[in-house]
Amino acid sequence: MPTRFFDTYTREVREFVPLNPPNVSIYTCGPTVYSRAHIGNFRAYIFEDLLQRHLESRGYRVHRVMNLTDVDDKTIRGAREANVSLEEYTKPFKKAFFEDLETLRLKRADEFPAATESRYIARMIEMISQLRARDLAYQAEDKSVYFRIKKFPNYGKLAHLNLDELRPSGRVRTDEYEKENIGDFALWKAWDKEDGEVGWDSPWGHGRPGWHIECSAMATALLGDEVDIHCGGVDNIFPHHEAEIAQSEGCTGKKFVRYWLHCAHLLVDNQKMSKSLGNFYTLPDVTGKGYSGRELRYALLRVHYRVPLNFTWTGMEEARQALARIDEWRQRLAEVTGSQRQSNNIIQPRDDFSRALDDDLNISAALGYLFEVIRQTNRALDADELGADSARFWLDWWEKVNRVLAVDEVTSVALPKEIELLANQRTEARLAKNWRASDQLRDELSARGWDVRDTKEGQKITRRAGIQP
């Protein structure tokens, strides 16, 4: 079965065929850095991480861009209230975001463009000029420039809206998507005293870009006119992604996105977790209760991305138990690999884990298969019937699975100081292409009970079974 995804645009599960296989371009709407991202945001990013890791496990080469929205109504308001520059205001939230990515083991995107970088502001101005030249945009009395949705017949297709029901609201200045009126939307917002020092010169006067054009400009600047996959949470569908289509296609005349993937919300008491409702948890709120990043990762990962997920502490406990089960299984297998036990009871490899994910990232079926493997191999272990070869086989299989799930215990264990020191020295030796030193350090680590493997992501260090740190 080929890889298939549910595409919001067509409302169909479609076979995934990228424009230039094996390359896949992905654009994901990143955080608005006006406060620390909450774990609802991270549900979206974890789903996107799973998507990328699964595609990579299937041999695709993913190029992913995630933007940082560092200029909009909320960031400007925050900076004004804190009486600091926009840059100063957003900086700590950007930093916290990258720390959280690390804790949750999210792969970093290849690029993290920020809306305020001059090359993207220039691109936004260029796109708005093109839209004006095509009569798809107009400058209103308030000096702001708006997109004329009546001139773009496909407007409403992504969200499946009837254009006749949309009331124009060209004078609305806010770009907070939950408040934005349906209708013409701002491409360029004329400077207002509330904007303070924030602003750029443009053919339409001093002002700043609207939120939607930021993503169109960064996506097309970095990934070209056509993007394979564009993702976000369902709240992004309208108006944000609808507007992105109108702006991008209005400029390029080409189909902007081949597959639109949207994740359902993380809920609290059956309401969307959001900053505006104040019902949110940040990552430190969760780790402060004693849970690890990988436990939260697992809790947010284990439910299919299109199914709303209610966040509860019971759910966190369940995640902890599931991971403990995996850890214990791995430990048991590792112990057997060092034994002389013979058997030929390798359960024939089936590709069920990956095949489940091929089916629109069906994580429940994938995890169902993983736990079935655990049940069967544990039974064989209980009966002393699992040989060293089988154990090694299943550990190798797990390693592949874990490259997609990224929930392994070892990667989260802090290395003892002296081991970390040797590991760092080895990284430096390899960077300096000093292979002799690198091999010596590997032997040194091995003598202390730590195995080193060099992978595409750098060296991986694992504690040999039975050796205590």
Single-letter residue type at 141:
E
**Contact between 38 and 275 (Cβ < 8 Å):** yes
What single string gives the DSSP state of each residue in 427-458? HHHHHTT-HHHHHHHHHHHHHTTEEEEEETTE
215 binds, among ligand AMP, Zn ion, none (CB under 5 to 8 A by kind): Zn ion
Beta strands in 23-89 (DSSP E): 23-28, 61-66
Q: What part of residues 393-422 is at the interface with Zn ion (CB under 5 A)? A: none
- Rank residues 144 and 274 by Cβ distance to ligand AMP and give the closer one: 274
Which token pair is 390?
């089988």
- Rank residues 9 and 152 by Cβ distance to ligand AMP and give the closer one: 9
**Which range of residues in 18-26, 122-130, 207-215, 306-314 is near Zn ion by CB under 5 A?**
207-215
Instruction: Please calculate the CA angle 312-315-321 and round it to the nearest 5 degrees.
Output: 150
- Rank residues 311 and 329 by Cβ distance to ligand AMP and give the closer one: 311
The binder of ligand AMP chosen from 78, 113, 156, 233 (CB under 6 A): 233
Quickly count: other Cβ atoms within 10 Å of residue 4's Cβ.
17
d(CA 226, CA 330) in angstroms, rounded, equals: 43
**Contact between 49 and 106 (Cβ < 8 Å):** yes
CB of 34 to Zn ion, least distance (A): 15
43 binds, among Zn ion, ligand AMP, none (CB under 5 to 8 A by kind): ligand AMP
29 counts as binding Zn ion under rule CB under 5 A? yes
Instruction: Please calculate the CA angle 114-118-121 and round it to the nearest 5 degrees.
Output: 80
**Which range of residues in 230-238, 289-297, 404-412, 451-459 is near ligand AMP by CB under 6 A?**
230-238
d(CA 110, CA 255) in angstroms, rounded, equals: 23
The binder of Zn ion chosen from 33, 215, 266, 300 (CB under 5 A): 215
117 binds, among Zn ion, ligand AMP, none (CB under 5 to 8 A by kind): none
Measured CA distances, 449 to 64, 297, 445, 462 (Å) = 37, 29, 7, 9
The binder of ligand AMP chosen from 90, 103, 248, 274 (CB under 6 A): 274
What is the per-residue binding string for ligand AMP in 43-62, x denoting contact by CB under 6 A?
xx------------------
113 counts as binding ligand AMP under rule CB under 6 A? no
d(CA 320, CA 189) in angstroms, rounded, equals: 48
Residues in Cβ contact with 457 at an 8 Å cutoff, skipping those fewer than 6 apart? none
29 counts as binding ligand AMP under rule CB under 6 A? yes
- Rank residues 307 and 421 by Cβ distance to ligand AMP and give the closer one: 307
144 counts as binding ligand AMP under rule CB under 6 A? no
Indicate the length of the chain as a whole number. 469
Residues that bind Zn ion (CB under 5 A): 29, 215
The residues of the shown chain that bind ligand AMP, judged by CB under 6 A, are 29, 31-32, 40-41, 43-44, 232-233, 235-236, 263, 265-266, 272-274
